[in-house]
Copies of this chain bind each other. A is one copy, B any other.
Amino acid sequence: MTRPLILATNDDGILAPGLAALVEVVRSIGEVIVVAPDSPQSGMGHAITIDQPLRINEVEAFGEIKAYECSGTPVDCVKLAMNVIKKDRPFDLCVSGINHGSNASINIIYSGTFVSCYEASLEGVNSIGFSLLDYAFDADFKPSQKYIREICLKVLRDGIGDTKLLNVNIPTGMIHGIRVCKQADARWVEEFQQGTDPRGKKYYWLTGRFENNGSEQDSDLKALADGFISMVPSMHDLTHYGALPALKDFENIEV
């Protein structure tokens, strides 16, 4: 029997301990190929590189597992993995992470972890982004690994229907189980640190704090606060169908 073919990627870069922890899990499940950015790419959202050439280097970072570092964004990595590095056989699963830090709620839109999975799922591959709620380089990924293993095994065995895309966040500390839930209604309240550089020029540096708008009981933020792993299915179609009827009016605009 052929072992499932698994693409492992991330946005923290090929040397991130979170990726090592993820590869440690999935190598026991299938044939793994790692394709990850050669440098950290947090906050790159769904960026693609169109005005520059990309580079791929094979690296020996994961023992006998084929691994490649790529000069582009997380989305570039997925495109290269599927269209250049492994063209002969489709991937059975794409996993991204384990991200150092939360990708719950609205954070997915800025998250390379999520969008690399979004890209892979656009290509028809079931994809799961994993994030741990700890930004530290030496975060403890150990408690999450057995859950990640079981989630991956179940996705490979049973599929995930038409969603193809799961966003999984993992709390720190004791894990009480898994909750399938919705994306919380939250937002960043932005602030910019302002300063003057060594050459006397003003600069602005993004900072901010996260604000939960709701007290929803069925959201990913609530699950995480309760010590559960959150699992949110996403979709590709961003159309707000509920808004269509009320907007029909625009079709009557006269110019």
Spell out A's residues near B (CB within 8 Å).
40, 42-56, 73, 75-76, 79-80, 82-84, 106, 108-110, 115, 118, 122-123, 146-147, 149-151, 154, 158, 160-163, 165-166, 177-183, 185, 187, 190-192, 194-195, 197, 201-206, 231-244, 246-251, 253-255
Contacts and interface: CB of A to CB of B under 8 A. Distances in A.
Contacts of A255: 146-147, 149-150
A49 B203 CA distance: 13
Nearest to A109: B46
Q: What is the total number of copies of this protein in its complex?
A: 2
29 contacts: A40-B51, A45-B48, A45-B115, A46-B47, A50-B206, A54-B203, A54-B206, A55-B203, A56-B204, A79-B190, A79-B192, A80-B192, A83-B192, A84-B204, A109-B115, A109-B238, A158-B249, A161-B243, A161-B246, A161-B247, A162-B240, A163-B247, A178-B251, A183-B238, A185-B237, A231-B247, A233-B240, A233-B243, A234-B238
A87 B47 CA distance: 28
A183 to B, nearest CB: 5
4 tightest A-B contacts by CB? A45-B46, A53-B203, A163-B243, A235-B240
A100 to B, nearest CB: 13
Contacts of A84: 192, 194, 204
A255 to B, nearest CB: 4
Contacts of A49: 43, 206
A239 B235 CA distance: 7
A184 to B, nearest CB: 9
Contacts of A45: 44-48, 75, 115
Nearest to A190: B83
A40 to B, nearest CB: 8
A148 B71 CA distance: 39
A141 to B, nearest CB: 14
